[in-house]
Homo-oligomer: A and B are copies of this chain.
Amino acid sequence: MATVTENALEKRHQIATQLRRWILQMTTDAGSGHATSSLSAVELMAELFFGAHFRFDVEHPTAPNNDRLIFSKGHASPLYYALWSAAGQVAPDRLENYRQFGSLLEGHPTSRFPFTEAATGSLGQGLSVGVGMALAAKLDQLDYRTFVLLGDSEMSEGSQWEAIQIAAEYQLNNLVGVIDVNRLGQRGETMYGDDLQQYKRRIEAFGWQTVVVRDGHDFTELSEAYHRAAASTNQPTMLIARSVKGKGVSFLEDESGWHGKAIDDAQLETALQELGQPASEVRGELSMPNDRHPLSVLPADAEPIQYPAGDEVATRTAYGDALKRLASQYPEIVALDAEVSNSTRAEFFAESYPDRFFEMFIAEQNMVGAAVGLGQRGKIPFVSTFAAFLTRAFDQIRMARHSEANVKFVGSHCGVSIGPDGPSQMGLEDIAMFRTIQECVVLYPSDAIATQRLVERMANHRGISYLRTTRGKTPVIYDNDERFEIGGSKVLRRSDRDRYTLVAAGITLHEALAAHSILQNEGIAARVIDLYSIKPLDHATIRAAADATEMIFTIEDHVPEGGIGEAVLTSLADHPTPVRSLAVRKRPLSGSSERLLDDQGLSAQKIVAAVKAVADLN
């Protein structure tokens, strides 16, 4: 183990002083920011960066073996930016723009700052992203390591324990967590204060190597701790370091009431005097990563699966088929599932590509965070569970957008049509949830062929997308060579005499088609649109239907709020058209799929009744 020379120590102390000066200066300039939470972790990060532990080629930031650093305690962003400044990557005068409009140095790190691995600020998420990056390294046999700086307060988030449990399960010895135990949370002392043993006991019980650092400001002790982490052969390592919040400034040290506050100009002057001046131009050197690159895999091609017209195939099954088929063309595709792969059909992929499938057990928050991490390392992660249970990870999904993540979500068992299992298992809010995510694509296929094509689109689309699948079987209604586009739709029934338009997707499309036939027999012509792309939405086709018919009926197995009905209304906001939304408005119960759809007014018969109720008036 390398011992730290006097000379190196002295330089590290000077860098620490420089970091503290920058942290205080930038937060006082901004008039806000988490200065004290940054000061406590200065040595933890200075030793990591400049003690030859963190290997990063600043000339080639995308080099595959560059180590990864995630600030899970994103509020320590002043330290984060200052650290990269000390590494020569941010001009010190740019630090003045911290928190200013347009600056890349935002209040909490987002992907707009070039070195950000994952946006943080919602606590308890960074470790899951680290798990994903560590899994990617194992998969590609790369020797980079992933470091995650954690706050002590955020250890109370259950998502942390999901990440800790999975990291141990996958023996991620290339993952290192660093808990900055500065004792104080936002509004006072944390649950365990400075009792390091509380953290050690729990984390060891979950199967990690732990290294207790009694003084988180002692470079020598920290250096040894990082070396012990590097030596782990089959366990992730957690450094549990006692630190002092506000360290280095007498009137801030270990004091409550300073969380998220900047000091004023006079206090700054005092603080800078206390800290003293470092030797001018302190810069640190990062050590270089290994330059071995991953073997590139030659993709083989796979023929599309042919589904005979009229066959009954559940779209969740078609998803499993499609993902398995695409796997050979896209070596970057990986799949994660929350212990329900036999229901979501991710198992088809898992059986053929076990090394690229990650069983994440029943822990959806960590599954999503890990998928973000895998995506940031060049994978194309498909994440599946019941649509209802994706709500468990809404905060992680929300944050993924600020990471500009590349993650494909697949929610099965949507709507009341799942039947007897009852409301707890029904995805009834998922369209609304994913629609709120900026630039998120929301897809809802009605048959196996549409599903196969849309899964291809998701694989080719960079960003966040969501596919909603159905539990029960639905007939194949499209030709095998039919094309489906993000933002597209299909007009399945149309005539020059159409009085009404039925807009549906997924399970309700088949009810709408049946309703169309009944209405036709009664002399009422209706247009039927398959709105398989809910976001973005095919405005032109909706608008044409609005112009051509008297009223639009939207039919969806989802609550009315935030669903297909409101998406259509928004599409017509400046082009007013009567719209009637048929959706899940009553309390959902257990029962047969048919009975529940009818109970909610979504069956062919109820659609017909709704249309005729209007037709009779006119």
Contact = CB atoms under 8 A, between A and B. Distances in A.
Interface string A196-234: 000001101110000000000000000000000000000
A362 B191 CA distance: 10
A585 B436 CA distance: 10
Contact of A363 (B32, B156, B561, B599): B156
A119 B424 contact: yes
A108 B421 contact: yes
Q: How many copies does the complex hold?
A: 2
A31 B591 CA distance: 11
Nearest to A554: B573
A438 B573 contact: no
A485 interface: no
B425 A436 contact: no
A347 B187 contact: yes
A61 interface: no
Contacts of A119: 423-424
Contact of A186 (B30, B160, B343, B567): B343
A361 interface: yes
A328 interface: no
Nearest to A199: B205
A27 to B, nearest CB: 10
A100 B438 contact: no
A576 interface: yes
A103 B559 CA distance: 22
A435 B573 contact: no
B103 A590 contact: yes
Interface string A542-579: 00000000000000000111100111011011101111
Interface in A591-617: 591-592, 595-596, 599
A440 to B, nearest CB: 9
Given A569-B566, A591-B102, A121 B424 contact: yes
B566 A574 contact: no
A444 interface: no
Contacts of A474: none
A153 interface: yes
A447 B455 CA distance: 48
A152 to B, nearest CB: 10
A574 B617 CA distance: 14
B425 A121 contact: yes
Interface string A24-65: 000000111100000000000000000000000000000000
A32 B593 CA distance: 13
Contact of A578 (B421, B567, B573): B573
Given A120-B424, A391-B398, A423-B402, A156 B432 contact: no
A395 interface: yes
17 contacts: A32-B420, A102-B591, A107-B422, A108-B425, A121-B424, A153-B362, A158-B365, A158-B366, A185-B339, A186-B343, A432-B435, A436-B562, A561-B567, A562-B562, A569-B573, A573-B578, A573-B579
